[in-house]
Structure 1
C-alpha cells in the first residue's frame, strides 16, 4: 500500500472530523453571528449611502458604485488603517485562539491523550476557523450588494456583474484573511497567548502609517506598496492614473506591483503556518515559545509580596480615615501603572512607537517633497498623530487586561475579601491607566527632542510639548473611563473590546455617511478644531474645547459611578446579581457623586446646545443645499437686471483681535457704465445665517423704495426714485460689525483671531445677483428639479466676458483705507502707507493706492517683525512671526529675481513695493493681492531649504516667484468670467515661476519639479467629477491649470525657445493689460500663439491646448559596441499617441511628433541624470524607429523624452540602461504597426 493511500486513510478522516466539529461549533457561537451581522449592517449602510438612499447632500460624480475598482476600495477601506483594530479583535477571537483556547481552558491535557493526529488537529482547527472568518467578512460584501441595489437604474449604478464583486473578494478579502489570520494563528499558537497577536495589530498599524508616509514621495511608491499587507497602496499605485472611464470599465488586474504584494504576503503567511506546524507538538508540558522568558504569574507575585513574618503582621496598624484611603488609592494606582508598563506588550509598543517616530520624522513634508523644519509644535503635532493610534490600542487592551486580570489569575476572591473599597479598586485602575498615558506622552516628548537635536535643530520649546500633552490628555481620560466602564459591566473581555470599538470607530463611520456631526453625541468629540499655529497658539478653540471636554469627562465619571453599582466583586456574573452584591457598598457619598456628575453632564450639555443650536444655528449639508435652491428659485430673475459698477472703495476698518470682532464703515462709488438708465440696485452682502453680523447701514445716497431686504441670505433690492443715467455715479454707504457669539458645532472663525487676522474683500458688500450662491452640483440640481449648470460660461460667451473672473460687479477701482488694530500689532492693506499713529491704546494706519486695482484685496493684522530689502526702486518687505526667520532671504531673493525676470521679459512692474505677510496655518496657500502677498506659515516660512542639494525643491523660492508672477498675470492681464481664463493667470504664473527657478537652479533641477507636476495632473484627472477639459477651456480645475499647465508651458518653451515664448507672452500682455470689458479670453491668446508658431509645430498647439493628448513613449531595444575609438549605439524607441475625451476614454491617433532622444554617460554631481552624450529632437513619424549614434564615451543609459516633457502615464520606460533589455510594452495590435521603423544614423563623435 502506498504512503499516499496510508495518509488518506489515516489522516483525512481525522481531519474531516475535527474540521467538521470546529466549523459547526464556530457557526453556533453567538459572537460569530454578531460579527457577521455587524459587517452586514455596515455594508448595507455604505451601499445605501453611496447610492443616495439617505437625505444627505449630493455631489457630482461620474464614477459608478459597483465597478470592480469601487468594490475593491470598499473592501480594502474596511480592512486597513484604524479598522485594523476591529478586524484584529474579531480575527484574534476566531483564528488566533483556534488552538490556544485548549490551553486557556486547561483542556489540552485531556485532548492530547486521545488518538488524534497532529496534522488533522492542526489543520482542522486552522482551516475551519479561517472559513468562519471568511464567512464573517462575507457580510460586508453581501451588505454592500444589497444596499447598493437601491441605486439600480440611476447613473450611479452600472450593470450588475457578479465578477465585479467576486474578484475583489477573492484577491483582497480571501487573501487578506489568510495573510492576517495565519500570522495571528501562528503567533498565538506558538506563544499560547493573544498578546503577540495584539502586538501584530500594532505592527499592522505601523505598516499602514509608514506606507502612507512613504507614498507621499513618488520615488518610494514600490516600497510603500510592498510593505502594506492589505494591498491598499499596491492597488492605489496600480490604478493611480486610471481615468473615470477606466475606473468604471476595467477589472482590477492581478498584475504588476499588486501581484508582487499578494505573492510576498501570501508567502509570509504560508511560511508562518508551516513554521508553526513543525514547531507545534502534542506535549502538555511543553513550554510556550517566548522572547522574554517565563515570568511569575500574578498569584505567585502577590504571594511573594504578601509573605511576611508573624511579627510584621502583628505590627500592622489599621487606619480607615479619608487620608489613608487617599494614600491607598494612589498606592494602588501606581501598582496598576507598574503592572502595565512592566509588561513586554507595553515595552514593545513603546519601542515600535519610537521607531515609527524616527522613520516618519523623515517624511515631515509639505509640497513637492519639501521637508519641514522640525520646529517644536510640528514635532509635537506629529507625535500626537502617531501616539493616538498606539494609545488607543493600549487603552483598549489594558482596560480589559486590568479589569479581568484578577479573575484570569484566580485571585479575584482574595481581592474580593480585602478591605479595599470598590471605589478605590475601580479608580485606582483608572488612575493607573492615566499614569500610563502620561508616561507615553513624556516618552514621545523625549523622542521628539532627540530627533530635533539629531537634525541639528536646537530651538527646543519644552513648554510647547507640555501644552500639547495637557491639551490632548482629556481625550484619553474620556477614552479610559469609557473602556473601563464597558469592561466592568460586560461578562466577556473580547465582547467588551468590541463594544468599545462601536462608539470609537464604527459610529463615526456611520455619522460620516449620514452627515451627522453634532458634538453632543459624537463620542469624545473635541468640538470645533483648529491646527496649532506659532502666531496664534491653540487660538480661540480653547474655550469651546474646555467646555466640550468637561461634558464628556463628567459623562464618563458618571458612567464609572454607575459601574460601581455592578462592580464585579466575587463570582456573580449577571448585572442584577452584581448589583445586589455591590449596592451595600454604594454609600450616600457615592449616590451624591453619581447625581452630581449626572447633573453636571446635563448642565454642560445644555450649555453646549445653547451655543451650537441657539446662539449659532447649525445647518446640515442638506439644509444648505435647500437654501441654495431656494435662493435660486426666488431671486434668479434678478440676474437679468443690469447693474452699475463699483469704481471706488474708501473704507474705515477697526479690528478687535482680542474679541474676534471687526467693524467696517465704508463707502463705494458706483457708476452706471451701461448705455441705458439703471433704476434698480441689487446689493449683496455677507449672509447672516449664523447671526454674527450686525448691520447698521446699507443705503444709497439717492432715495428709493426698498423692495426687499433679506439679511439672512445677504440680499437687498432698491428701486430708485430717480434712475441712474449712463455715466452717472452715486455713493453706497455701509456700516456693520462682525462679532461671533459663543461657539458653533463645527465651524471656527479664522478671519479675525488674536494674532494673525486675515480676511479679504469677500466680507464686504457687492452689487448684483450672486450666481456663486446657487447649487453647483448637477446631480443635486436634478434632485431639486433644476436645470444643469455649467461650471463656467463658454469661452466666447460675450455677456460673461463683460465681467472678469474675479469680480462681477467691478472692473478697476480706486482704493484707500484706514485700518486700526491693537497697539502691539501691525495692520496691513493694499496700498502705500500714508500715515501711522497711536490713539487710545490702538494703532492706526492709512493706506492708499496710486493707480486702479481689481476689486480684490485683503486685510491682515498681527504682532509682526519686519525684514526689508529693495530691488531697484521697489521696496520689498516681509512681515513675519518672530522665530520664523529661516527662509526670509530665499523669499527676498526670489522676489528680486522674479521682478528682474518678469520686468525684462514681460513688461514693467506697476507698483513701488512688494509685501509678503505671514498668516496662521489655518490655510495652506499664498495669495497675490495688489502688491500684497499673504503667505501661510506652513508652506514657506517653516520649510527646510537645502541649497547644497540641487535635487531638492526650494519651495519658498518657487511659491514666492509664482505669487509675484500674479502681479502681471491677473493684476495686469485678467480674463473674462469664462472657460480658460485661469490659463492666463495661474498657468502663466506657473510658467513664470518655472523660468525663475530654472535660471536659479539650472534645467536638470527642473526634472523633479515637473515629475511632481505630471504626477499631480495624472492623479487629479482620476478624481474629476464632471469632465476633464483641455487646457484652453479649463474650468478652474487646479490639476489642469496648475499641474498640467506647468508641464505644457515648459514643453512649449522647449519647442519654441524661451525668448520666442516670452515675446509671445509680452505681446499678449501689451494687447490686454488693464483691459476694460469685454475681457480677454484664451481664444485670443491661442490665436496669437498659432500666429507666432512655425507650421511644423502647429500640432503642438492642438495637442497641448485644444485637446487632451497623452503619450506612451518607450525604449524597445538598445545596445552598444566599441567601434574604433568610439562607441556605436543602437537605440530603438517607440511612441504611441492618444486623444482622450472628458470622461477619460482614449483613442489612438497617428504619431508625427518631434520628440527628444538622448544617450547618457556617467552620472556625477555636475550631471545628476548623466552626461548628455547625445541629445536631439527627432521626428517620430512611425510608431517605432531605430537610431544609430557614435559617441566618444561609454554610454550608460538611453531613451526617448528623457525629461518627461510630454504627458506620459508611464515615464519609467522612457529611459533604460544598457545592462539589460527593456520590458515589452503591451500596445493594441493596431498600435504595433510599423515594425522596427526607419533606421537613422547620426555621428556625434566630433
Structure 2
C-alpha cells in the first residue's frame, strides 16, 4: 500500500504544471547566472573561473534556499490537500495504515522537491558550455563540485526543510501558515548570517540551517588558485552542521507521525477537543411576503463599461496574488533580491559599496527578472482560461460588455501583478538599506527604475502573451511562445541582431548619481512610443480575434474577425500603422543614418582587425609621460565637461625615437597636430 500511495503522489505532482514552471525558472535562473553578468544568485567571487568549484558549489547551495518554497508547495500540499478537498475521510476509512498514508505522501512529494533542484543543476552545467563565454575564464569541468554540492549541502537541506514544513502542515493543516513559517525560518537564517564577529562565527557555522556559513568559514582564506581547484571537505563545523539539521529533520518527521490525526473522529474534532453535535433546530414554517421589485435604470454606456473594467481588473488581480503558485514565485524572487542586495555590499567589482538606491535598483532588475517572467509564463494562460476552466465562460461571454472591457481587465491584472512584485521587492531592498544604516532612500528612483524605465519590455510582454493565446487558443503553446520570445531577446544579440527596432528592448538606462536618468529619457521615450504602437496594433488584432462563445475553429474566428473589422476599427488600425511607420523611420534615421550603427559582432570584428593590423607595433619605443597637468570643469546638469591641460613627454631611452604613433579614441577630433621636422607617414 505504501508503494501505491507513493505512486499516487508522484502521478499527482507530475500532472501539476507548477513543477514544470519551477523547473524552467530554476534552469533559466542558473543558466543565466552562469552565462550573464546581469543575473546573479548567491555570492560572487573576484578573479576566479566562472566554473570554479567554489563558484559552482556556492550557486547550488544558494539554490537550496530558493528551493525552500518549492518544498513547501509540494510537501505541505500532500498533507493539506485532502482536508482542503474534503476527501480525508475517504482515505481514513480504508485499511491503509498511518505509516503508509503519511510517509507515502511525504516521500512522493519530496521527490519533486529534489527535481526542481536538479533542473537548476542542469542549468549550471549547460551554462558552462555556452559558446559566448570568455574561454579564458573557463576551467576544467569538475563533476566533484556538483557531487559535493548535491549530497553534502542541497539534498540534506531539502530533506530536513521538507520534514519541518511537513510537520508544520500536519499540525496547522494550512498552506498559508506553513508559508508564513517558511518566511520566519528564512528571516532567522538571515539574522544568523549578520553575525560576523569571530567569536560568534564558530557558533553560527554550527547552527545556520543551510550550511553557507560553515562553507564560507572553511574556504575563507583560500587563494584564487585553491578556489579554482579545490573542493571543500565534510569535516569540522560543516560536518556538525549537516548532522545537526538532519537529526532535527528526522525529529520533526517523527513528530508529524505522532501528531497526525489518523481517524475520522479526530479529523472532525473541534478545536476545544469535543465533538460539536448541533441539536436539531425546529422547522421554520414557510412564510409568504409580498413586495414590489424596485425600479432600476439599465445603463450600457461608457460609465457602466468603466465600472465593469475596474471590477474585473480587481478580480483578475486578486485571483493571481492569492494563489499558491504566485506566492511561491514571489517569495523566490524576494528571497533572491534580499540575498543579492545584502550580499552585494561587500563585493561589486571587488569593492565594498554603500547600499545606494541606484545600486539596488540595478540589482533588483537583474535578480527579479526571471521570477517576473515565471509569473507571466504561468499566469498568461491561466488568466485567459479562468472562466473556461470553471465552466461558466458561456455565461460571461453572453453578458453585455464590449470586448475591450475583458481584454483590458486581463491585461491590467497581469501588469498589476508585476507592479506588486516590484513594489514588494523595493520594500525588501529598503529594509536592507535601513538595516545597514543607510537612510537616503530616494523613493522616486525606485519608482523610475523599477516601475517605469526597466520594466517596459515586461509590460509589452503582457500584451504579447495575450496575443499569443488569442491566436493559438492554447495555454501550453502560449507558455512556450513566451519562453521562446524571452530566449530570443538574449540569443539574438549573440548572433548580431540587436537593433531595438526589431528586438523588443529599451536603450540601456544607467542611473547616474550626478544626472539621474535625465540624459537617457529622450531615447527611452522614443522607443517606448515605438513599441507602444506595436502593442496597440496587437491589441487591435486581439480585439478582432477575442474568443467569445463556444466555437473556436480557425474558420469561425476569421469570420468573426471580419464582422468586427468595422470602419472605426479600420481607421484606428490605419492611424496606428502610420504612426508606427513614422516613429520607426525617425528612430532608424537617427540611429543608422545620422549616427553609425554597429552590432556587437561587428565591433568585435573591428577590434580584432585593429589588433591584427597594429600588434606589430606593440613594443615600438615611444615617449613616456613625465608629468601631467589638467584642469577639469564638470557641469552635471548640462552633461558637459571641459578639460584643459598638457602632458610633458620625454624619451627615457638611450636611442632616438624615429617614429611616433598616436591613437585617438572614437568620436575625438584632432584639430591640429604639429611635430617639428617630421612628416606624416600614415593616417587611417
User: What TM-score results when the alignment is normalised by the length of structure 2?
Assistant: 0.67
Which residues in structure 2 correspond to 1:744-755 (within 5 Å)? none
Matched, 1:697 2:663: no
Secondary structure of the 1:320 match is coil
Partner of 1:536: 515
Residues of 1 paired with 2:389 and 2:182: CA distance?
A: 23
Matched, 1:469 2:456: no
TM superposition shift of 1:122: 2.6
Which residues in structure 2 correspond to 1:669-818 (within 5 Å)? 676-685=655-664, 687-688=665-666, 692-693=667-668, 695-702=669-676, 704-710=678-684
Q: Answer 1 or 2: which has greater strand percent.
A: 1
Change (3 A) 1:652 1:78: closer
TM superposition shift of 1:197: 6.9
TM superposition shift of 1:424: 0.9
The 8 Å contact of residues 630 and 645 in structure 2, kept in 1 or not, is answered as yes
Change (3 A) 1:173 1:494: farther
Change (3 A) 1:198 1:145: same
Unaligned runs of 5+ in 1: 1-13, 51-58, 291-308, 711-1246
TM superposition shift of 1:429: 4.0
Residues of 1 paired with 2:68 and 2:304: CA distance?
A: 42
TM superposition shift of 1:428: 2.5
Secondary structure of the 1:419 match is coil
Residues of 2 paired with 1:356 and 1:346: CA distance?
A: 15
Change (3 A) 1:516 1:122: farther
TM superposition shift of 1:528: 1.7
The 8 Å contact of residues 395 and 480 in structure 1, kept in 2 or not, is answered as no
Change (3 A) 1:666 1:164: closer
Residues of 2 paired with 1:236 and 1:178: CA distance?
A: 22
Partner of 2:396: 415
Partner of 1:122: 102
CA shift digits 1:779-809 (9 cap, x unpaired): xxxxxxxxxxxxxxxxxxxxxxxxxxxxxxx
Secondary structure of the 1:529 match is coil
TM superposition shift of 1:123: 1.8
* 1:240 corresponds to which of 186, 209, 220: 220
Which residues in structure 2 correspond to 1:1147-1226 (within 5 Å)? none
Partner of 2:152: 171
Residues of 1 paired with 2:266 and 2:661: CA distance?
A: 89
CA shift digits 1:715-769 (9 cap, x unpaired): xxxxxxxxxxxxxxxxxxxxxxxxxxxxxxxxxxxxxxxxxxxxxxxxxxxxxxx
The 8 Å contact of residues 41 and 143 in structure 1, kept in 2 or not, is answered as yes
Secondary structure of the 1:699 match is coil
Change (3 A) 1:704 1:249: closer
The 8 Å contact of residues 365 and 450 in structure 2, kept in 1 or not, is answered as no
Secondary structure of the 2:508 match is coil
Which residues in structure 2 correspond to 1:500-649 (within 5 Å)? 518=498, 520=500, 525=505, 527-533=507-513, 535-550=514-529, 553=532, 579=557, 583=561, 588=566, 615=595, 617-618=597-598, 620=600, 630-639=609-618, 641-644=620-623
Unaligned runs of 5+ in 2: 37-44, 272-289
Larger gyration radius, structure 1 or structure 2: 1
TM superposition shift of 1:700: 1.5
Residues of 2 paired with 1:194 and 1:612: CA distance?
A: 53
The 8 Å contact of residues 65 and 157 in structure 1, kept in 2 or not, is answered as yes
TM superposition shift of 1:600: 6.4
Change (3 A) 1:352 1:146: closer
CA shift digits 1:1019-1038 (9 cap, x unpaired): xxxxxxxxxxxxxxxxxxxx
Matched, 1:18 2:5: yes
Bigger drift between 664-673 and 326-335 goes to 664-673
Residues of 2 paired with 1:361 and 1:154: CA distance?
A: 28
TM superposition shift of 1:242: 2.0
Residues of 2 paired with 1:91 and 1:659: CA distance?
A: 53
CA shift digits 1:1128-1156 (9 cap, x unpaired): xxxxxxxxxxxxxxxxxxxxxxxxxxxxx
Secondary structure of the 1:235 match is helix
The 8 Å contact of residues 349 and 390 in structure 1, kept in 2 or not, is answered as no
TM superposition shift of 1:699: 1.9
CA shift digits 1:205-253 (9 cap, x unpaired): 86887788x3888887679868975544543343232224433554422
Which residues in structure 2 correspond to 1:49-68 (within 5 Å)? 65=51, 67=53
Residues of 2 paired with 1:384 and 1:45: CA distance?
A: 15
Partner of 2:407: 426
* 1:320 corresponds to which of 281, 287, 300: 300
Change (3 A) 1:34 1:564: same
Residues of 2 paired with 1:37 and 1:349: CA distance?
A: 12
Change (3 A) 1:164 1:683: closer
Secondary structure of the 1:683 match is coil
TM superposition shift of 1:15: 0.6
The 8 Å contact of residues 562 and 594 in structure 1, kept in 2 or not, is answered as no
Change (3 A) 1:252 1:581: farther
Change (3 A) 1:170 1:329: same
Residues of 1 paired with 2:62 and 2:386: CA distance?
A: 34
Matched, 1:72 2:50: no
CA shift digits 1:687-711 (9 cap, x unpaired): 21xxx33x2424224354322223x
Residues of 1 paired with 2:432 and 2:111: CA distance?
A: 46
Change (3 A) 1:73 1:700: same
Residues of 1 paired with 2:11 and 2:443: CA distance?
A: 54
TM superposition shift of 1:76: 3.3
Secondary structure of the 1:543 match is helix
The 8 Å contact of residues 39 and 140 in structure 1, kept in 2 or not, is answered as yes
CA shift digits 1:454-488 (9 cap, x unpaired): 99999x99xx5346424532355653663586479
Residues of 2 paired with 1:550 and 1:524: CA distance?
A: 12
The 8 Å contact of residues 215 and 238 in structure 2, kept in 1 or not, is answered as yes
Residues of 1 paired with 2:370 and 2:488: CA distance?
A: 20
Q: How many residues align?
A: 645
Secondary structure of the 1:469 match is helix
Residues of 2 paired with 1:670 and 1:473: CA distance?
A: 51
Residues of 2 paired with 1:329 and 1:404: CA distance?
A: 18
User: What TM-score results when the alignment is normalised by the length of structure 1?
Assistant: 0.41
Change (3 A) 1:168 1:370: closer
TM superposition shift of 1:337: 5.7
Secondary structure of the 2:660 match is strand
The 8 Å contact of residues 568 and 578 in structure 1, kept in 2 or not, is answered as no
Change (3 A) 1:117 1:271: same
Which residues in structure 2 correspond to 1:942-961 (within 5 Å)? none
Change (3 A) 1:41 1:525: closer
Secondary structure of the 2:299 match is coil
Matched, 1:479 2:458: yes
TM superposition shift of 1:427: 1.6
The 8 Å contact of residues 39 and 139 in structure 1, kept in 2 or not, is answered as yes
The 8 Å contact of residues 544 and 565 in structure 2, kept in 1 or not, is answered as no
Partner of 1:785: none
Residues of 1 paired with 2:56 and 2:119: CA distance?
A: 14
Bigger drift between 609-618 and 514-523 goes to 514-523
Residues of 1 paired with 2:126 and 2:636: CA distance?
A: 54
Partner of 1:1036: none
Secondary structure of the 1:707 match is coil
CA shift digits 1:292-324 (9 cap, x unpaired): xxxxxxxxxxxxxxxxx9856x53322333344
Secondary structure of the 1:705 match is coil
Partner of 2:40: none
